[in-house]
Amino acid sequence: MGKLTRERGLILAGFVLILAYPWGVSAVGQPFLIGLGTRILVMGLAAASLDLIVGFGGMVSFGHAAFFGIGGYAVGILAFHAHEDTAFLGLIPGTNQALVAWPAAFVLGGLAALAIGALSLRTAGVHFIMITLAFAQMLFFLFVSLKTYGGDDGLSFRPRNLLPGLDTRDETSFYYVVAALLIGFLVLARRLLDARFGMVLRGVRENERRLAALGIPPYGIKLAAFALSGAVAGLAGALMANQVRFVSPELLHWTKSGDLLIMVILGGLGTLYGSVLGAAVLILLETVLAAWTEHWMIVLGPILVALILFARGGLWGVLAGTRRS
Amino acid sequence: MTALLEAQGLVKRFGGLVATNNLSLDVQAGECHALIGPNGAGKSTLIAQLAGELPSDAGSIRFDGQDVSRLGMAARARRGLVRSFQITAVLPEFTVLENVALAVQARLGRHYGFWRRAAGQPALRDPARQVIEDIGLTARAGAKARELAHGEQRQLELAMALATEPKLLLLDEPMAGMGSEESRRMVALLQRLKGRVSMLLVEHDMDAVFALADRVTVLVYGGAVATGTPAAIRADPVVMEAYLGTDDGGWEGAA
């Protein structure tokens, strides 16, 4: 498949922008904006993982924040036990090491998605939306009830998880760690979507019944994609927890799932890179409007409606001159 | 000689309506077996039952020496019992080549490739190109399926089924909605396929049926009222009465 050169140019521009951003904001004397950039990249990673199942697989999940939150809590709880020098459930010792905590967040996000997906994927359409929302709400209330880990108030920890040879407390270093993970995921996801697995996944969105008639049972493919998506969301949650050194049930709140869906739709369903753009636009709009007025949501709402109405195919589709993948 | 497909005592009820009424049917290897009958006779229901899309309320289906009654659609397709759809069911955002390559992939059965580009794999591309050439769509290989004319989509529909290398093709009205020229080409295409692949053909176009079929089964109210050669069916008084009507114009849907 020959991609349009305009889309290639856009990808390159985005790549350069991500790499140059910390340098740029420092050059204009606003280095505190690096943290904002990190947040955008983390949410971009979570949104891109959601696009994998919503945009490409046609599975509209309204519970993606659950996996994001599980990843965040994995980091938070491990750091809490490392600090207290106790063990989770009296068995698993805590840790501050990113190379342990982040893979744990990835695996736990994936396992949760595997379990929730195994049940939810027996339904479709509106039922699927509602059941994924219901599971996410269950997990939300589970974390609210965990008094040991702060319950409603959440759990703060410090320092950030440690990486060998890197100072993660340095905002620029941490930014580049997140950028590397995001870019790594985008490259892997692009390959995966053009490989055999991706052909079937996109086929599921197009016509699931046709796939079955050809001899391809869609369930396993959908479940694998759902689990992978949850795992990456878990990793994103781990990164977000590290960015703010704080986790709370807010991470799993259903509005978080909604935010992620808005980012995906704003950027363009099934465009992959568009999700990162969507995350950037939504977070920047929120930040700018919140600085301007405390009733920023009243302004944000109409802007989003207008963007979604007038930018069919998403912002990425408009900029790249493509519709869908 | 044993039958490739053997359905016995099939029943399908929708509430009080009996769509398939204790129906038995067989398709021999290499045969083109046509299924005709008035609208509402239960032809499409029967195809869906045979393909495994609709569970039967009673009866058994043997295919290629195995009882497949309890298998789902995908499992039957992998054994070589593959259907095409009356309402075109191609993947609209995929190109012609991608549609057919996906069907080839369905036959090869290895879907968990995460790294190598599917488009660059000769194992998928080469057989797909071959089927596309056989079906006469080479000039449109790079076009998206939704951009095709209706007749071309019907061709693609058939190409996808063929690319799975089926032992038996269940063709649900392959000529549906086609103009006469397109129909003629489709009949010629099916004629070429005859012998290479066994077919169970549901079709309203009687010229096509009599040109293609080795045997014809007449379905009325979900039951088979007659089975025989095209000539025998034309002459069968039961068929004349039940289905053709007494006057010559009674062929429902005939072109």
What gap in Å lies between CA B73 and CA B55, rounded to an integer?
A: 10
Residue from A196, A322, A323 to probe the interface with B (highest B Cβ count within 10 Å): A196
Please state, for a pLDDT cut of 70, what percent of chain A lies above it: 98
The Cα of B243 is separated from the nearest Cα of chain A by a number of Å equal to 31
The Cα of B82 is separated from the nearest Cα of chain A by a number of Å equal to 7
Report pLDDT digits (tens) over B79-104. 999 999 988 889 999 999 999 999 99
* ipTM for the predicted complex: 0.87
Q: How high is the pLDDT of residue B245?
A: 56
Q: How high is the pLDDT of residue B242?
A: 67
Residue B243 pLDDT class (50, 70, 90 cuts): low
Q: Is the pLDDT of residue B250 over 50?
A: no
What gap in Å lies between CA A253 and CA A63, rounded to an integer?
A: 9
What gap in Å lies between CA A150 and CA A158, rounded to an integer?
A: 15
Residue A89 pLDDT class (50, 70, 90 cuts): confident
Q: Is the pLDDT of residue B7 over 90?
A: yes
pTM of the model: 0.91
What gap in Å lies between CA B57 and CA B55, rounded to an integer?
A: 7
Residue A184 touches chain B, beta carbons under 8 Å? no
The Cα of B164 is separated from the nearest Cα of chain A by a number of Å equal to 7
Q: What is the mean pLDDT of residues B160-177?
A: 93
8 Å CB contact of A197 and B107: no
The Cα of B139 is separated from the nearest Cα of chain A by a number of Å equal to 17
Tell me the CA distances in angstroms from B161 to A94, A202, B75, B143, B170, one per residue in order: 55, 19, 15, 19, 9
Residue B253 pLDDT class (50, 70, 90 cuts): very low
Comparing CB atoms, the residue among B78, B91, B124 nearest residue A203 is: B91
> CA end-to-end span of chain B, whole Å?
36
**A163: which DSSP letter?**
B
A322 or A228: which carries more pLDDT confidence?
A228
The backbone region for B195, taken as left when phi is positive above 0, alpha when psi lies in -120 to 50, beta otherwise, is left
- Of A24-33, A118-127, B246-255, the poorest mean pLDDT is in B246-255
What gap in Å lies between CA B77 and CA B56, rounded to an integer?
A: 17
Q: Which residues of B touch A216 (CB under 8 A)?
A: 74, 102, 105-106, 111
Q: What is the mean pLDDT of residues A173-192?
A: 97
Report pLDDT digits (tens) over A257-300. 999 999 999 999 999 999 999 999 999 999 999 998 888 888 88
Q: Which residues of B touch A1 (CB under 8 A)?
A: 119
Q: How high is the pLDDT of residue B59?
A: 94
The Cα of A185 is separated from the nearest Cα of chain B by a number of Å equal to 13
8 Å CB contact of B103 and A214: yes
Q: What is the mean pLDDT of residues A51-80?
A: 96
Q: Is the pLDDT of residue B39 over 50?
A: yes
Q: How high is the pLDDT of residue B1?
A: 55
Q: Is the pLDDT of residue B249 over 60?
A: no
Q: Is the pLDDT of residue B137 over 70?
A: yes
Handedness of CA A53, A211, B158, B180 (dihedral sign): negative
Residue B122 touches chain A, beta carbons under 8 Å? no
Please state, for a pLDDT cut of 90, what percent of chain A lies above it: 83
8 Å CB contact of B77 and A212: yes
8 Å CB contact of B74 and A212: yes
8 Å CB contact of B113 and A214: no
Q: How high is the pLDDT of residue A193?
A: 96
8 Å CB contact of B82 and A1: no
The Cα of A201 is separated from the nearest Cα of chain B by a number of Å equal to 9
Report pLDDT digits (tens) over A134-156. 999 999 999 999 999 999 999 99
Minimum Cα–Cα distance from A190: chain B residue: B115
Handedness of CA B101, B107, B110, B112 (dihedral sign): positive
8 Å CB contact of A216 and B74: yes
Q: How high is the pLDDT of residue B178?
A: 86
Residue from A191, A192, A210, A223 to probe the interface with B (highest B Cβ count within 10 Å): A210
Q: How high is the pLDDT of residue A119?
A: 96
Computed over every residue of chain A, the mean pLDDT equals: 93
8 Å CB contact of B102 and A197: no
Report pLDDT digits (tens) over A196-255. 999 999 999 999 999 999 999 999 999 999 999 999 999 999 999 999 999 999 999 999
Residues B99 and B161: beta-carbon distance below 8 Å: no
Q: How high is the pLDDT of residue B251?
A: 47
